[in-house]
Amino acid sequence: EIVLTQSPGTLSLSPGERATLSCRASQSVSSNYLAWYRQKPGQAPRLLISGASSRATGIPDRFSGSGSGTDFTLTIGRLEPEDFAVYYCQQYGSSPYTFGQGTKLEIK
């Protein structure tokens, strides 16, 4: 089973700032099958990125994903108020599919 470790656990930033979230895999993620989600309290996760770098339908271009192999990054260009939430990475390259433990992005 691939273990995904996200860092930092909590990130404190201000609206308008740039956020960089990391996701490291315990082994290489096949075909860079890595997704990113944003989850607000009381809501289901929302897909942001699939295939490590492809934005999902309706996701603004301030969100970008990068990386390959075992190291992946989600960058949010300019933080909007709705971006303060918990972010999860997920690998779907090998079963069982696994999620990271999450990064909480909070308002500084």
Contact positions toward another protein, by CB under 8 A?
Answer: 1, 33, 35, 37, 43-47, 50-51, 56-57, 88, 90, 92, 95-102
Q: Which is nearer to another protein, 78 or 97 (CB)?
A: 97
Q: How far is the CB of 97 from another protein (least distance, A)?
A: 4
Contacts of 52 (CB under 8 A, 6+ apart): 29, 32, 33, 34, 65, 66, 67, 68, 72
**Strand 46-50 vs strand 98-99: parallel, antiparallel, or unpaired?**
unpaired
d(CA 51, CA 93): 10
Q: How far is the CB of 81 from another protein (least distance, A)?
A: 22
Q: Which is nearer to another protein, 19 or 100 (CB)?
A: 100
Q: Which is nearer to another protein, 44 or 81 (CB)?
A: 44
